[in-house]
A and B are shown apart, each in its own frame.
Chain A
């Protein structure tokens, strides 16, 4: 089942499908790169940071818990524990077996 990382229950593990909010249409992405590089740059930066920390497509990611009042998520990926802001986490698409 395809879900956003923020939709996972505590303790649930999913496989990352995509961390790129614009990946549904690569064509659109490239178009944007020419027209509005700033917006593209933003999403590129965000994706880069996540992938650098090990959240690459195909990786297992476990949601440990989330801080209250819509706070960040605590996730476990490749053996390390990360805190990810909720906005960022909501742009990560994962595949979950339920």
Chain B
């Protein structure tokens, strides 16, 4: 990098205000993508400060640099091998002990480091006072008290960062020293490791070998199997001395150091009264009151979003279709005009009328909930229910999202810890009836057959989700992980962060879904113009007519449904020449049709999301499976209902 262009990484536990600092630093100059080949989000941004250009990377929020989750692996690989010019460790001042546990690991990783002691105001309210000068002396790196939400301390933090990078300020990072028995053995390994070439700092690698770290072990094994054998012997010795598995011994020792340091630098006085946020926590996780509160909150949110969405969506649509005559006068109503309008513009309009009115408020409220801390309470309450489908509490969040739209649901699977859990959740998510599916369930069956049948369809859907989730959970190789998460204190959401996150997530949705919807619209429009729809209907008729007992034209409607599910209903109306479906379809046909639409395929945007997160193979597997499932169940339902 040139003289005034630096890379700085933000690292720290989850919920310490890291993303607030990131947003304070970079504003809208952000780029959110995935880490190469991983379903982990990578947030990068650029900042200009005093003539310097600083690239800021927001590493995932983690508690350790081990191999528990992909996030931990990515973070430590980034720090150890990409070697950013500086790591800013964001530390929650009110949870010093656990945060220092992570800080100590950063020190061991020998990366240039400064510490942002964040949320000092909250800590003070809790009665925790920290002597940051003393912390600086003990740790040997600059410690800057900050309050990210108000921006206080951020300027000093940046100044210090520059000073450290440019070596105008000398730091003397003090690596933690552990107990005698373990220290002796670390030395032994350090000596051996000193003879070989590694990507990692030697002492860190030595400790990681004691930590039974599979990744480090693998790398060492390639160079010198002897060292790994020695490490195994040493681990056995330590296990005999302490009576615990060696990784536990290492963590315990590290926590002892963290605990000692935090006792030295903080002064705790008990707060006089229980703060409101504590009361709020107690009531929102209460075994009786927690559930009604959650249900009311979620229902209110859903109703609000759908009312807002419906209103905005229809007005936007009116507006766009009001433009059609003007458009026609430009390109004419010929083939070109029809292709451009029916294909491209129809696709864009469709995307806009769905994305903006529904997805935007959805994301906004999601991040509002996340930032305030309520999402983790929901996960806590729903853990048991999610276990019934082989998942744990956190999975409720993507599932909940999917009732709005499957795409954010699929992308939301990133919050799960392991690849297995992510895939399982995504599979369940694609079976959840999204807003568009609900339009059909309520608009067709609810309106023309009866609301009890619409409810029955929802219940059938839930049964299918639970059954298949359970089966997939048993069938998929690998071990299940259980819920383990922090429920950090409630706080007032930081609007700028929430809005930024909403905006970037919305942009991600648009970039991914729009091209697919437009291309899909175009393909179908071309087929229509080339008079291919009629023959396609005939090819499908053995399935649609003979097996499902539906009118032949439903074949076309189902094809359109791949773009967006509510199009099935719109197309059906157009093809049958009426929206009074009771005149042209029997109740059984309507129920079977809706059942098939509900399950038959994740829409094209959802398939896109699956491909993005899990690759082509798994995306196709899920898609094909769901088509077959829908046809199978549709046919069975038809036969059961006509009896």
Residues of A within 8 A of B (CB): 18-20, 22-23, 26, 29-30, 38, 41-42, 44-54, 56-59, 65, 67-72, 74, 78-88
Q: CA A81 – CA B92 in complex, angstroms?
A: 14
Q: CA A81 – CA B248 in complex, angstroms?
A: 21
Q: Does B76 contact A (CB under 8 A)?
A: no
Q: CA A58 – CA B253 in complex, angstroms?
A: 11
Residues of A within 8 A of B487 (CB): 74, 81-83
Residues of B within 8 A of A50 (CB): 484
Closest chain B CB from A94 CB (angstroms)? 15
Contact (Cβ within 8 A) B95 A80: yes
Q: Closest residue to A82 on the B side, CB-wise?
A: B486
Q: CA A9 – CA B214 in complex, angstroms?
A: 38
Closest chain B CB from A61 CB (angstroms)? 13
Residues of A within 8 A of B240 (CB): 26
Residues of A within 8 A of B239 (CB): 26, 30
Contact (Cβ within 8 A) A44 B251: no
Contact (Cβ within 8 A) B479 A85: no
Mask: chain B, 86-109; 1 = CB below 8 Å from A; 0 = not: 000000001111100100000000
Contact (Cβ within 8 A) B380 A56: no
Taking CB atoms and an 8 Å cut-off, the chain B residues in 378-395 that contact chain A are 379-381, 383-384, 392-393
A-B contact pairs, 13 of them (CB 8 A): A47-B245, A48-B68, A51-B247, A51-B248, A54-B97, A72-B383, A74-B487, A81-B489, A83-B376, A83-B379, A83-B383, A83-B484, A85-B482
Contact (Cβ within 8 A) B285 A56: no
Given A45-B481, A48-B68, A67-B384, output 9 extra A-B contacts at Cβ < 8 Å: A20-B244, A23-B244, A26-B239, A46-B482, A48-B64, A48-B66, A80-B488, A82-B486, A84-B482
Most buried by B among A18, A29, A53, A80: A80
Q: CA A53 – CA B446 in complex, angstroms?
A: 49
Q: For the complex of A and B, list the 5 residue pairs with the smallest distance between their C-beta atoms, beginning with the closest.
A: A85-B482, A51-B251, A52-B64, A56-B252, A85-B483
Given contacts A20-B248, A38-B479, A42-B479, contact A85 B484 (CB under 8 A): yes
Closest chain A CB from B274 CB (angstroms)? 13
Contact (Cβ within 8 A) B245 A23: yes
Contact (Cβ within 8 A) A26 B245: yes
Contact (Cβ within 8 A) B484 A18: no
Closest chain B CB from A17 CB (angstroms)? 10
Residues of B within 8 A of A57 (CB): 244, 248, 252
Closest chain B CB from A98 CB (angstroms)? 24
Closest chain A CB from B7 CB (angstroms)? 27
Taking CB atoms and an 8 Å cut-off, the chain B residues in 433-478 that contact chain A are none
Residues of B within 8 A of A (CB): 63-64, 66-68, 94-98, 101, 212, 214, 236, 239-240, 243-245, 247-248, 251-252, 255, 259, 281, 285, 287, 290, 376, 379-381, 383-384, 392-393, 479, 481-489
Closest chain A CB from B335 CB (angstroms)? 60
Residues of A within 8 A of B380 (CB): 67, 71-72, 74, 83
Residues of B within 8 A of A83 (CB): 376, 379-380, 383, 393, 483-487
Most buried by A among B67, B482, B488: B482
Contact (Cβ within 8 A) B248 A84: no
Closest chain B CB from A33 CB (angstroms)? 9
Residues of B within 8 A of A56 (CB): 248, 251-252, 255
Residues of A within 8 A of B252 (CB): 51, 56-58
Contact (Cβ within 8 A) B97 A78: yes
Among B251, B393, B489, contact of A52 (Cβ-Cβ < 8 Å) = B251
Residues of A within 8 A of B64 (CB): 48, 52
Q: CA A86 – CA B392 in complex, angstroms?
A: 11
Given contacts A51-B247, A67-B285, A67-B381, contact A84 B98 (CB under 8 A): no
Contact (Cβ within 8 A) B485 A68: no
Residues of A within 8 A of B248 (CB): 19-20, 47, 51, 56-57
Contact (Cβ within 8 A) B484 A53: yes
Contact (Cβ within 8 A) B484 A71: no
Residues of B within 8 A of A20 (CB): 244-245, 248
Contact (Cβ within 8 A) B482 A67: no
Among B96, B244, B247, B481, contact of A18 (Cβ-Cβ < 8 Å) = B244
Contact (Cβ within 8 A) A52 B97: no
Q: CA A59 – CA B101 in complex, angstroms?
A: 14
Q: Closest residue to B15 on the A side, CB-wise?
A: A80
Q: Closest residue to A39 on the B side, CB-wise?
A: B479
Given contacts A38-B479, A74-B380, contact A81 B97 (CB under 8 A): no
Residues of B within 8 A of A54 (CB): 97-98, 101, 255
Q: CA A49 – CA B484 in complex, angstroms?
A: 8
Residues of B within 8 A of A47 (CB): 245, 247-248
Closest chain A CB from B275 CB (angstroms)? 14
Q: CA A51 – CA B255 in complex, angstroms?
A: 9
Among B95, B214, B236, B479, contact of A79 (Cβ-Cβ < 8 Å) = B95
Contact (Cβ within 8 A) B484 A23: no
Residues of A within 8 A of B287 (CB): 65, 67-68
Closest chain A CB from B204 CB (angstroms)? 16
Contact (Cβ within 8 A) A84 B384: no
Contact (Cβ within 8 A) B484 A88: yes
Q: CA A54 – CA B101 in complex, angstroms?
A: 8
Residues of A within 8 A of B285 (CB): 65, 67, 74
